Structure 1
Amino acid sequence: MRFAVSPANETVMSMWALADPVRYAVHLPWIDRARLTLRRPEVADRVRPLVELTRPRRWLPDFLTPAARPDLEMAEQLDQIAATPPDVVVQDLLATTPRRPLSPFGRALLADPRGLLPQLVDAVRVWYDEAIAPDWPRMRALLAADVAYRAAQLAEGGAGRLFEQLHPSLRWLGDRVVSDDPFERDFDLRGRGLALNPSVFTDRRVLWNLLEDSLPAGAYPVRAVGTLWERAPVPPGDPLARVVGAGRAALLHLLDAATTTTDLARLTGMSAGNVSQHLSALHAAGLVVRSREGRHVRYRNTEVGMALLRAARGA
């Protein structure tokens, strides 16, 4: 088993939230912005192929959500989708039809996979750039935190503990995973391993690949998705920000309790690299202290840092 974060999966599956905001109400802050983006004619026209293939209650073709590997970037996944052989495109599209008939673009892609696949890849790329990339550091931080948590479960308790807690629909029967969902599939991994991807936009069950010939993969709901769109509680006009900078002030306001770099990145929207740089500066100044708990390093304010916060909050 291997865990990985898949920007392509999140880009494709985000369309479900856009089409059904009531079901995906936890993502309303993102949905409101994404809908405005999709109303722009230059975006709507290029993204149309993706919209058609991801309408609600449709199965996704396996090639559009490829099994991710650790540290795989969006550009690499787009290249992977673009390199899908035409016969695999056809096979994967036909596998989706028992659920719903193909959309107009789906039928056109079925008839001319070599000619129209670049148009679909462009649609995924545009939607990622316009709607996902601005929030990707926040999403990645949440997904990466889940990967670290699951990897620790696997290391400490084995596959049984992992699958018992991964999702209520899953059971581990010694040499197989049983998924209690309405779609009957029985796959032999054939030594290929199993890719498990936490997903922001997968909400109710684990989603598996449709065809046994595809690389085995499952997308499961990420932990703590309700915290994804929380913002750092920095008061407007915060005087501390004028002294240490907005980024470092935001971190100090969050470090009343011990917190990891990953969680701080998710809460602030900063990249993990920027958070680490700010924490290093705060640590060197004696404003935060760090401690290791198992696989994680947590930061919290020192008494000096708390004194600064008290003075700023009382100003």
Structure 2
Amino acid sequence: MIRINLGAHGLGRVRFAMSPLDAAKDLLFALARSPRVLRAGWRKQAVEALSERQLGLLAVVAGGGPGGYAPDFLRPEPAGFQADLDTALHQVATTPSERIRYELTAAIGGHSWGQTVGQRPPQLLLTAMDRGEEYVAQRIAVELEQFWCAVLAPHWPSMRARLEGDVAAWASVIARHGIADTVNRLAPNLEWHDGTLKVHSLATSSHRLSLDADAAILVPSVFAGRAIFCAAEPPGAPAPRTPLIVYPAAQNDCLPPSRGDELIGTTRIKLLAELAQPRTTGELAQRLYLSPATISYHLQILHRAGLVQRTRRSRTVLYQRLATKPRLADGLE
């Protein structure tokens, strides 16, 4: 179990963030640690990209070892709510050498591969480390960009809309119930109690850590099945970071990238239920506690699939559900 002692002041500085690079790391980690949670489409594309583009170092470092630890520098700390890809890649490539050394040393000697027979670090990683921490950081950044462009770039707009919708929904819950109650709802293994944020590990894990912090970052993921703690900062850690917790997005379908599957999801089911009578984008946004942009994105897909109709009345556009079958052949992206 991870204990983050925040207190009331630290709880007030908890914030949400998201990044395209986070999605890449989450997919790679899930592929290595729990591939069964991924749909076949994601597994196939990820494996093909790693193999065809020879991204072996990225696969080794991002997947972690038997202990489950994957170095955190692949997930740079976001300065704002939504980081762009180039900024995040630059952060990875320019990670301080002492931070690279600290995290890889922890992976090799403690958290991941351990020191028992049969658990030596992969030779690929050892060879890269021999060339220095700066080389490792720059090489990982290059391979991360190639992986993201090959696997995630075509689907990032819809993925981003899901993540934005998730954060918007939780913002509404915070407004009604407060941040402490909201944190307790984010994931089954995430708990706020008496000034402490707790991330419960798997039953098979004996890892324990308690640290003090004055802030925390919450990051939604479409690939995470439970809350995952990142950026552990015990006393003396170089280039310390704000504790970051990845939690499963409420619309966590982990859909493979296919045309028909874009219709599946909690948000569109709710939209269709609301559209039994004509409604505007603004009305739907208010009723579902989502941003108008997110609502508009989902409505466009439903309209192209032949599930909703839209009519204009003066300056107002109204949407309503149609009782017809979706045109999967030509209606979906």
Q: Which amino acid aligns with 1:131?
A: V
Alignment-derived partner of residue 217 in structure 1: 244
Match of 1:196 in 2: 218
Residue by residue, what CA displacement relative to the aligned partner does 1:234-284 show, whole Å, maximum 9, x if unpaired?
xxxxxxxxxxxxxxxxx9xx75744655256368779xxxx9xxx9x9656
Relative distance call for 1:89 and 1:311 in structure 2 (3 A) is closer
Query: Where do residues 103-252 of structure 1 align in structure 2 (5 Å cutoff)?
Result: 103-111=122-130, 112-181=132-201, 182=205, 183-189=207-213, 191=214, 193-212=215-234, 213-226=240-253, 228-229=255-256, 230-232=261-263
State how far apart, in whole Å, the 2-side matches of 1:117 and 1:312 are: 47
Preserved contact between residue 50 and residue 56 of structure 2 (Cα < 8 Å): no
Deviations 1:84-127 (A, max 9, x none): 11111101212223232343343344440113321111000100
Q: CA deviation at 1:288?
A: 4.5
Distance, in Å, in 2 between the alignment partners of 1:218 and 1:86 is 24
- Relative contact order, CA 8 A, sep 6+: which one is greater? 2
- Alpha-carbon distance between aligned partners in 1 of 2:42 and 2:169, rounded to the nearest angstrom: 25
Q: State the Cα distance separating 1:159 from its structure 2 match.
A: 2.6
Contact 1:203 1:221 (8 Å CA) reproduced: yes
> How far, CA to CA, are the matches of 1:175 and 1:196 in structure 2?
17
Please say if 1:81 is aligned against 2:54. Answer: no
- Which amino acid is 1:156 matched to? R
Cα separation, 1, equivalents of 2:41 and 2:295: 19
State the AA in 1 paired with 2:22. N
Residues 210, 109 of structure 1: alpha-carbon distance in 2 compared, 3 angstrom cutoff: farther
Cα pair 1:202 1:219 within 8 Å, conserved? yes
Residue equivalent to 1:31? 43
Question: Counterpart of 1:241?
Answer: none
1:99 aligns to what? Answer: 111
Secondary structure of 2:56's match? helix
Matches of 1:311 and 1:89, distance apart in 2: 53
Which residue pairs with 1:265 in the alignment?
A: 297
Q: Could you tell me which of 71, 78, 94 is aligned with 1:61?
A: 71
Separation in structure 2 between the aligned mates of residue 50 and residue 166 of structure 1, nearest angstrom: 29
Tell me: CA distance 1:255–1:168, structure 2 relative to 1, closer, same or farther (3 Å): closer
The percentage of aligned residue pairs carrying the same residue is: 23
Deviation at 1:174, TM superposition (A): 3.3
Does the aligned pair in 1 maintain the 2:70–2:112 contact within 8 Å? no
Check the 8 A contact 2:165/2:294 in 1, yes or no. Answer: yes
CA apart distance, 1:30: 2.4
Residue 28 of structure 2: aligned partner: 15
Cα 1:210–1:269 change in 2 (3 A) is: farther
Q: Which of 63-72 and 49-58 deviates more?
A: 49-58
Q: Which among 34, 56, 73 is matched to residue 48 of structure 1?
A: 56
- The Cα offsets for residues 144-201 of structure 1, whole Å up to 9 and x where unpaired, read as 1111122222232223211220112222223221222243111211x3x211001122
Query: Contact 2:92–2:138 at 8 Å: present in 1 too?
Result: no
* TM-score normalised according to structure 2 size: 0.68
Q: Which runs of 5+ in 2 are unaligned?
A: 1-13, 114-120, 235-239, 276-283, 286-292, 328-333
Greater share of residues in helix:
1
SS in 2 for 1:72: coil
Q: How much has 1:80 moved relative to structure 2?
A: 1.1
2:232 aligned counterpart, secondary structure: coil
